């Protein structure tokens, strides 16, 4: 039972932890301010979790631009399509989450926060324009902000192509 309570994540140096928090603050703050200024919604709850990956573990394959943008767009598209075909019930939302995970894995764009997108879609009942705003524009904004932030702080992001 003890192995459930072991922290496997290596410790962060305080400076790196502080930069991760500042990065998340900057990304959500800039995107939120732009959203308010433009009069269009660009934020959604799963983007907060995306910021954890983008700024706390920028070297992870799950944090890379294709995973962030592709994962959110794919998961949201799957959810919207299924929500149009199925009733707005718990089992339909569960099916959307499972299918989104399967497709993200097959297409190699796994981004764990995108697993929440189907739940958001089933709760909010958006139309296809949701894929553009907030999903596409918002996720691209987070990636661009992360790339600029990491360049300014001397952190390698995104990973270089093999």
Q: What is the Cα–Cα distance from 150 to 152, expressed in whole angstroms?
A: 5
Q: Distance between CA 123 and CA 38 in Å, rounded?
A: 25
Give me the pLDDT at residue 1, please: 87
Q: In 3D, which of 85, 79, 139 has the Cα closest to residue 103?
A: 79
Query: Which has the closest alpha carbon to 57: 20, 13, 105?
Result: 20
Centroid of chain to Cα 121: 14
pLDDT value of position 8: 87
Euclidean distance between CA atoms 82 and 141, whole angstroms: 27
The CA distance from 52 to 63, in Å, is 9
Dihedral angle, C-alpha 72, 75, 76, 77, nearest 10 °: 120
Q: Compute the distance between CA of residue 95 and CA of residue 118 in angstroms, rounded to an integer.
A: 9
pLDDT-flagged residues of the chain (< 50): none
Backbone φ, ψ for residue 82 (5° rounding): -65, -35
Query: Per-residue pLDDT tens for 124-150?
Result: 999 999 999 999 999 999 999 999 999
CB 39 within 8 A of CB 136: no
């Amino acid at each position: 039972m003890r192995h459930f309570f072991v922290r496997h994540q290596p410790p962060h140096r305080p400076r790196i932890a502080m930069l991760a928090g500042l990065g998340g603050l900057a990304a959500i703050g800039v995107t939120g301010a732009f959203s308010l200024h433009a009069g269009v919604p660009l934020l959604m709850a799963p983007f907060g979790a995306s910021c954890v990956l983008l700024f706390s573990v920028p070297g992870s394959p799950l944090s890379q631009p294709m995973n962030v943008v592709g994962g959110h767009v794919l998961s949201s598209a799957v959810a919207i399509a299924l929500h149009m075909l199925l009733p707005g019930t718990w089992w339909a939302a569960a099916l959307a989450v499972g299918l989104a995970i399967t497709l993200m894995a097959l297409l190699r764009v796994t981004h764990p926060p995108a697993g929440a997108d189907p739940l958001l879609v089933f709760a909010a009942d958006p139309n296809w324009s949701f894929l553009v705003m907030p999903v596409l524009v918002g996720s691209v904004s987070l990636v661009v902000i992360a790339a600029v932030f990491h360049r300014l702080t001397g952190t390698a992001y995104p990973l270089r192509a093999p």
